Structure 1
Amino acid sequence: MFTDTESEILSSTWALSEQHAQPWLLMVAQILQGKQVSQADPNFKKEVRGYIIDQDGQPIDRNENPNTPINSIGVIEISGPMVKKGSWYRWGAEELVRIAEYFERDPNIIGHIWLLDSGGGSVNAIAPFREFQKKKTKPLIGLADMCASANLYAGVGCDKLVARNNISSMFGSIGVMATLIDYTEYLKAMGIKERLIYASQSSFKHKSYNEALKGKDGAFKKEHLNPLAIQFQEFVKSQRPKLKTDVEGILEGKMFYAEEAQEIGLIDGIMDFEEAVEEVKFLSQVRTYMNN
């Protein structure tokens, strides 16, 4: 799980991972060819991340059927690097939660399924999911393949967290990390000398970060990483009361495949999509019975 500090650091550099660079390749090629380009292709559409299925688990074509059938279920895909705010090519947590809120308001939708398939992301991507989980009234099943770090943080807040298969599904990485990129040598090689000048009244501004760049990371851990890691651990324990916390590495970042994750109490079971649909219907019936 990346800290907000790391997100700021990464966004301030020119370094892009291959995964993040892919959507920009066409634009870069057009620029190199001397063409005028806009930031977003008007014909570009982000992959669908939220949709509605009927009580049999079949997707509903809203063009053919604008009215939501009774006993429908809202589905949201949370995949790839998790960020708070989306862009023209990537979904953010705030956008996905707005879809979930729409499902919550529709009286013909009885519950939610979140398809979780992410290794995590920025810390600030977690809060929108947690805020929604606190106020929702309909059952929510987290059906996961890769569910690690920030994605697990969001997943354990579901009514039930289950593995989608017992082959590739993995859970864990309960921990916090930051990557600090020191590009001073690169700038030096380019003949650029960077000096940071702080006001006399700002002696603690960026202090732990600058010390960490010099290899002294104690203050950075104490200020940024350790508090978040402890909060993460405590939240998981509060949501998973049967968690076997004595298992080596469980709260320190270790990953577990589905069967072991179930055995140690990190997840509730293993289901395919059809079984998750039936579980939502069952939980919805239980809530209706309890309310009546």
Structure 2
Amino acid sequence: MELNKLYHSILNSQWAIHYESVFNYTHVIQQFLDKRPNALDVSLDASPKSVLTYMDESGNRYMHDFKNPDALPNNAVAVIEVIGAFTKYGSYCDYGAEEIAAYMKMALANPKVVGAVLIGDSGGGAVNAISPYTDVLNARTKPVVALCDTCASAMYYVASHTDHIMASNNISAAFGSIGVMISLADIRPKLEAEGVKFHTVYAPESTHKNKAFELLLEGKYEMIQEEMLSPLAKNFQNAVKAQRGNKLKADEVGVLTGKMFFTDDAIAVGLADSKGNMQAAQEKVRELANDKKHMLKIALKANV
């Protein structure tokens, strides 16, 4: 059943997500885990809405036609949406990163498409959902512009791999949350008070198995910080620095340590490049597609 993939992602994945988003989703997640789809107003017969459309040079929008994918005007711009917390695998509720990334790859391979706008409005998602996007973005030979409202944590990791990051407004758009954390509720004391006894037995040959987790439960956080959190955080920081290059003011307070920045400040520190709407984003795609020097840069990067 497809919902099992969503249960797996929620319960077993590491997440790179803005903490505020976690709190906003808590009630919905609990209802879902309690297996009350009616409480979520979700129809299991419903298909997720399209995440791939196209725009012509006049700004007219076209749905993707799977039966006739070439039924597009020349010089079209693909529009791919990543909205809300994302997971690697799709379900009845939504497309997963693997599916959306595949649509992006397919769209960019169409000779009638000059590039793409990646609409991002997300506090982040599962860590294992990042690479499907970055794999496609690293291998492409056409420009992609990220047009974002909330662009935090894993969403920013993805957006940093595009050619240009554009804030969609100067009101709510925010960028950053480049950092890693773990949050765990230890419910053992409550269950022990109800008479439950816990027994954990390891093989003599498994002295390091779950060691960091066991120490975390004892309130000793050094090992999990050293073995899991720090490596993830450094990878995140290095990826952003590599992708943003000289545009990023990495030494500014908070830029690489988890702070969020609204539009003007995000542009000032190099987390974003400009602000604009959908029309401006697609015009930027066309501008980059006509820039021979930039197109050569993309091609060289794709062949690395």
- TM-score, length of structure 2 as denominator length: 0.82
2:173 alignment partner in structure 1: 169
Cα deviation, residue 21, structure 1? 4.9
237-246 or 102-111, larger mean C-alpha shift: 237-246
Q: 1:41 aligns with which of 37, 40, 44?
A: 44
What per-residue deviation string (whole Å, max 9, x for no partner) do you get for residues 272-292 of structure 1?
Answer: 11011111111112249967x
Distance 2:218 2:40 in 1: 38
Q: What residue ranges of structure 2 are gaps of 5+ in the alignment?
A: 1-7, 16-24, 297-304
- CA-based RMSD of the aligned residues comes to 2.9
- CA distances 1:240-263 after superposition (whole Å, capped 9, x unpaired): 222112211111101100111111
1:159 is aligned to 163
Partner of 2:269: 264
**CA spacing shift, 1:61–1:114, aligned 2, 3 Å:** closer
Q: Structure 2 CA distance, aligned partners of 1:277 and 1:92?
A: 24
| Distance of 1:114 and 1:104 partners within structure 2 | 12
1:248 aligns with 2:253: yes
Summarize deviations over 1:7-40 as a string: whole Å, max 9, x none. 52799xxxx822335665445799xxxxxxxx97
Gaps in structure 1 of 5+ consecutive residues? 31-38
In structure 1, the partner of 2:183 is: 179
In structure 2, relative to structure 1, the CA distance for the partners of 1:233 and 1:29 (3 Å cut) is closer
- Alpha-carbon distance change, 6 to 219 in structure 1, aligned in 2, over 3 angstroms: farther
Residues 6 and 178 in structure 1, CA contact (< 8 A), matched pair in contact too: no
The question of 1:17 aligning with 2:10 is answered no
Superposed CA deviations along residues 56-100 of structure 1, whole A, max 9, x for unmatched, are 22221456x941221111111112112111211122111110110
Does residue 281 in structure 1 map to residue 286 in structure 2?
A: yes
Q: Superposition pairs for residues 225-240 of structure 1, below 5 Å?
A: 225-240=229-244
Partner of 1:121 in structure 2? Answer: 125
Does structure 2 retain, via aligned residues, the 8 Å contact 1:9–1:180? no
Q: Distance in 1 between matches of 2:13 and 2:117?
A: 34
Q: Does residue 203 of structure 2 align to residue 199 of structure 1? A: yes
Output the amino acid matched with 1:59: R
Taking the aligned partners of 1:48 and 1:179, their CA distance within structure 2 comes to: 33
Q: 1:143 aligns with which of 140, 147, 160?
A: 147
Distance 1:165 1:46 in 2: 26
Name whichever of 21-30 and 201-210 sits farther off. Answer: 21-30
Q: How far off its partner does 1:186 sit?
A: 3.3
Give, in whole Å, the separation in 1 of the partners of 2:221 and 2:75. 53
Residue in 1 aligned with 2:214? Answer: 210
- Quick check: 79-88 or 269-278, which moved more? 79-88
Change in CA separation of 1:90 and 1:181 when aligned onto 2, cut-off 3 Å: farther
Offset at 1:181? 2.7
Q: What do the CA deviations read for 1:77-128 (whole angstroms, capped 9, x no partner)?
A: 1121121112111221111101101102211111111001111122111111
Matched length: 275
Q: Does 1:87 align with 2:91?
A: yes
> In structure 1, what is the Cα distance between the partners aligned to 2:255 and 2:194?
45
1:60 maps to: 62
Task: Give the Cα–Cα distance (whole angstroms) in 1 for the partners of residues 294 and 209 of structure 2.
Answer: 56
- Sort the Cα spacing of 1:95 and 1:265 in 2 relative to 1 into closer, same or farther, 3 A: same
* Structure 1 length-normalised TM: 0.85
Amino acid at match of 1:158: T
Q: Deviation string for 1:195-236 (max 9, x for gaps)?
A: 221111111111101110111010000000001111111111
Who is 1:134 aligned against? 138
